[in-house]
Structure 1
Amino acid sequence: MYSSTRRCALLALTAIAATLEAGSATAQGGYPNKPVTLVVAYPAGGDTDVLARMFAEKLTARLGQPVVVENRTGAGGTIGSAYVAKTAADGYTLLFAPNTVAIAPLVLKPGTGAAYDPLKDFTPIIELGTQSLFVIVNKGAGASTMSEFVARARAGSIQTYASPGNGSPMHILGELFNRAAGVKISQVPYRGSAPAIVDLLGGQVPMMYSTLGPVAQYFQSGKLAPLAVADAKRSPFAPNVPTLRELGYKDAEVGAWQAVLGPKAMAPGLVATLNKHFNEILKMPEVVSRMETIAITPLGGEPATLGTLIANDYARYGKLVKEFGIQAD
């Protein structure tokens, strides 16, 4: 009798465990059971694209499913961002984005693709890292210092700068620097940093505000040169380059960050799983080393931290956009 009762109890416990396991698997949806897409809203070759491809490789190994990068460009990065905002919140389509994702909708006219609200239409997953913005000139600009640069701008010899798009941090920095230096240098927006740098090297534009990664390879040859950094302190990746504040140009400090977001209303368990993977990848020595080569300081952290960062940037840059009357053409 005792043996029969014990067998029945064991069978019952096994059935309960199986039910719980099945329920857990159902709740997680067996994620992932198909390829995952990382959307980059800019052309191949820029910081965000390079970062996304590196993480795609690491995620593929960890998730056991292909993780692919898809470039959906246009309208200051808002076409790709809006696409992700409208996809299913199942974790199979994620957005790799710089802080332009929080700024671009503030400056673009209706109907240009900015059909998303950065505060309501995304689920924050993780902030990957931060970057500094630099004043970069080509060899034809005739300026090797910021004082020479400003003098030539005031004389009308430097009239335009390239940017990776309307509403980018570089666009905002351009307006802040114009005010701080008393110059008028007009933005020439491109579909990302890569095509902007092509024209900068070719002399079609004399300068741009840029992160260090895509341009540093041209410093040694003298094709391009960094004149200043737009941070509160000097960059560890270019310690000999002075800050704009050091040089007397105050209130022209704008940085950049890179992050991962998903569509709104993603399940908390799914967000936690992805956040854990990204945080662990950020600790890999080879990833840290690769990020350093493109001048990105790895961060990581909780989804809520990214959510707060997006809200703060949206508020800060919203005020600046109104103050300067910035609007895309």
Structure 2
Amino acid sequence: MSIPESFDPSRRTVIGGLAALSLGAPLFAQAEAWPAKPVTMVVPWPPGGPSDIAARPLAKGLQDLLGKPFVIDNRGGSGGNIGTAAVTMAPADGHTLLVTSSAPIVINPSLYKKMAFDPAKDLIPVTNVIKVPQVLVVHPGLGVNDVQGLLAQVRAKPGFVFGSSGNGTPQHLTGELFADAARAQMTHVPYKGSAPAISDLMAGHVPMLFDSLSSILPHIRSGKVRALATAGAKRSSLLPQVPTLAEAGLPGIESYGWYGLFVRAGTPAPIVQQLSEAALKVMKSPDFQRVLAETGSDFVGDTPVAFAAFVRTETEKWSRLVKLSGATID
């Protein structure tokens, strides 16, 4: 049997290899598709908290958009550290996500002497989801109607008390920022969460506190507490009559309760990109826009690169305030 002169063994090998790759490509693509199974969205706080306001509509939108279940897993404890640590120990395949407030990401590393994770190394920021301003509120019986009136009392009474939702929380540290800007010596009273702090404010046991707009707004509207200023860069659309702290004579105080989406470090870049694009699409939907309007939050969706830069800036700001306040948990 003669071999045709045109026969080239190397060419046949290449063609055969390409054919095999071609046949295998759909299988490979299918194996790499995301999401390939239900996705767990960890919220490192008890159910019903502000983080749920961000997580639940985001999870529903992603589920509808991507066709796989997105299940909320509330894992509270240790200032958000327990649930956050669980995400850093999950497989880096995009099937375990984190939606959390700022605390375990930018405050706790300075507040706790020991943590089971390093958010700067163990997590990838995907996008900011909701950002609502902190609001300065007082008991109506305090007899002040504006920030300057409050400052007069604070400066006249060294040790003037302010409450917060807990040691080292954004609410506490915003109060410390206020005391620093006012050049006043104030006494912090920490509570175990916003609810008991607000209850004591309404009962007149503490005269003032800062809390996020989404938590305090119903009590402002009921008249049980009085809003003096917001800590945002501009007035809130839900409280247009309330000035910012800068407008009220205390510039340089900008503080938000923000809630972001993260994945474990090592998650493939294509999955991070797909998740980012899907999340932004959900956040632009009418359903999510209603959530933003109800919480007084502007659209804050951004790219992983932009969100990572924001997180670094926030980390620097809050670490300085933790040192200023002397707050510690351990």
**5+ residue gaps, structure 2:** 1-15
Whole-Å separation in 2 of the counterparts to 1:191 and 1:52: 22
Give the aligned residue type for 2:186. I
Q: 3-state SS of the aligned residue for 1:220?
A: helix
5 Å matches for 1:62-211?
A: 62-111=65-114, 114-153=115-154, 154-155=156-157, 158-163=160-165, 165-211=166-212
CA contact (8 A) 2:135 2:212 kept: yes
Partner of 1:19: 24
TM norm structure 2: 0.84
Q: Does 1:32 align with 2:36?
A: yes
Partner of 2:276: 275
Whole-Å separation in 2 of the counterparts to 1:141 and 1:69: 41
Whole-Å separation in 2 of the counterparts to 1:192 and 1:21: 51
1:199 to 1:71, Cα distance in 2 relative to 1, 3 A: farther
Measured against aligned partners, the alpha-carbon deviations of 1:276-319 in whole angstroms (never above 9, x if no partner) come to 21011011112112221011212212111111111122123223
Q: How many residues align?
A: 315
CA contact (8 A) 2:107 2:319 kept: no
1:156 to 1:221, Cα distance in 2 relative to 1, 3 A: farther
Give the aligned residue type for 1:176. L
Whole-Å separation in 1 of the counterparts to 2:318 and 2:186: 20
Give the aligned residue type for 1:63. L
TM-superposed CA distance for 1:104, in Å, is 2.4
Partner of 1:8: none
Measured against aligned partners, the alpha-carbon deviations of 1:179-237 in whole angstroms (never above 9, x if no partner) come to 12233333344454345434444444433212211221222321122111123332333
What is the RMSD of the two structures over their aligned residues, measured on CA atoms? Answer: 2.7
Partner of 1:54: 57
Q: Which runs of 4+ in 1 moved over 4 A?
A: 11-16
CA contact (8 A) 2:159 2:187 kept: no
Partner of 1:5: none
Whole-Å separation in 2 of the counterparts to 1:247 and 1:241: 9
Q: 3-state SS of the aligned residue for 1:119?
A: helix
CA contact (8 A) 1:74 1:191 kept: no
**5+ residue gaps, structure 1:** 1-10
Q: 3-state SS of the aligned residue for 1:178?
A: helix
Whole-Å separation in 2 of the counterparts to 1:32 and 1:284: 24
TM-superposed CA distance for 1:122, in Å, is 0.2
1:246 to 1:73, Cα distance in 2 relative to 1, 3 A: same
Whole-Å separation in 1 of the counterparts to 2:44 and 2:223: 31
1:322 to 1:291, Cα distance in 2 relative to 1, 3 A: same
The percent of aligned pairs where both chains have the same amino acid is: 33
Whole-Å separation in 1 of the counterparts to 2:193 and 2:97: 19
1:204 to 1:64, Cα distance in 2 relative to 1, 3 A: farther
CA contact (8 A) 1:106 1:321 kept: no
Give the aligned residue type for 1:245. A
Partner of 1:224: 225
Q: Which moved more, 1:14-23 or 1:298-307?
A: 14-23
TM norm structure 1: 0.84
CA contact (8 A) 1:56 1:69 kept: yes
TM-superposed CA distance for 1:324, in Å, is 4.2
Whole-Å separation in 2 of the counterparts to 1:110 and 1:44: 27
Q: 3-state SS of the aligned residue for 1:25?
A: helix
Measured against aligned partners, the alpha-carbon deviations of 1:122-177 in whole angstroms (never above 9, x if no partner) come to 011111232211102233444332233334434369513122x4333222211111
CA contact (8 A) 2:176 2:325 kept: yes
Q: 3-state SS of the aligned residue for 2:222?
A: coil
